[in-house]
C-alpha cells in the first residue's frame, strides 16, 4: 500500500460532515506512517491557517 500524494504537493481537502475545517487548497506537509488499520494519512497545511491538520487520503483530491 503506497501513498498517493507526495510531500509539497497541492491538494483539495474535503472535510467530513461536522468538521469545522475549511474546504479548499492545502499543501501536503508530510506522509504519515501507515497504521494497523491500513489508513493512509497526511499532515496538511492551508495558507489561510497557522496550524497543520491531519487528513485521510480519501478526504483529498488532486488540484488542477
| pLDDT tens digits, one per residue of 19-57 | 667 778 999 999 999 887 888 999 999 998 899 999 999
Q: How large is the average pLDDT for residues 57-61?
A: 94
Ordered by start, the domain boundaries in the chain are 10-62
The residue to which cell 478526504 is assigned = 59
Residue 23 and residue 13 in contact, taking contact as beta carbons nearer than 8 Å:
yes
Residue 60 and residue 12 in contact, taking contact as beta carbons nearer than 8 Å:
yes
- Measuring CA to CA, which residue among 62, 63, 24, 57 is closest to residue 43? 57
Q: How far, in Å, CA of 42 to CA of 56, rounded?
A: 6
Per-residue pLDDT, 52: 95
> Can you give the pTM of this predicted structure?
0.85
Amino acid at each position: 500500500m503506497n501513498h498517493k500524494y507526495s510531500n509539497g504537493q497541492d491538494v483539495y481537502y474535503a472535510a467530513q460532515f461536522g468538521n469545522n475545517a475549511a474546504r479548499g487548497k492545502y499543501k501536503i506537509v508530510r506522509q504519515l506512517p501507515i497504521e494497523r488499520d491500513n489508513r493512509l494519512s497526511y499532515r496538511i497545511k492551508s495558507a489561510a491557517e497557522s496550524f497543520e491538520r491531519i487528513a485521510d487520503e480519501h478526504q483529498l483530491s488532486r488540484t488542477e
